[in-house]
Amino acid sequence: MTASDLTGQEVDAFGLRPSLRVRVPEHVVYRAFPEQSVVLNLDRGDYHGLNRSASVAFALLADGETLGTVAQALSERYRLSSELAQADVSRLCASLLERGLLERAEPD
């Protein structure tokens, strides 16, 4: 499953808001490479590849930025509309939460 496999309703079910902060769980490691990044779930032995824009988003999320801040950064960097950037970040975050590669850092 990729982030694009999640429907809008499935993403909405996560209740993600721009003010949400997430963190990388202790059982997850992340390594950036020039063209992509790899996120490894040590509990399951699964690894997941992230493209460049998802890598940028993951790194910002891992640094404690809110979903809204990440969306704004991607909007500026890749010249996306704010709405599209927010939808993409929400979809990515929902997918990573579902896979146990991120967890909520605090209630939003």
User: pLDDT tens for residues 12-22?
Assistant: 656 788 899 99
Token representation of residue 54: 């998802």
pTM higher than 0.75: yes
> Is 35 in contact with 74 (CB distance < 8 Å)?
no
**Helix runs in the chain, H state only:** 8-13, 52-62, 67-78, 82-98
Per domain, the residue ranges of the chain are 3-104
Residue 2 clears pLDDT 50, i.e. is over it: no
- Which CATH class for the 3-104 domain? alpha beta
Q: Distance (Å, rounded) from C-alpha 60 to C-alpha 31?
A: 14
Encode pLDDT of 48-93 as tens digits. Answer: 999 999 999 999 999 999 999 999 999 999 999 999 999 999 999 9
pLDDT score recorded for residue 10: 54
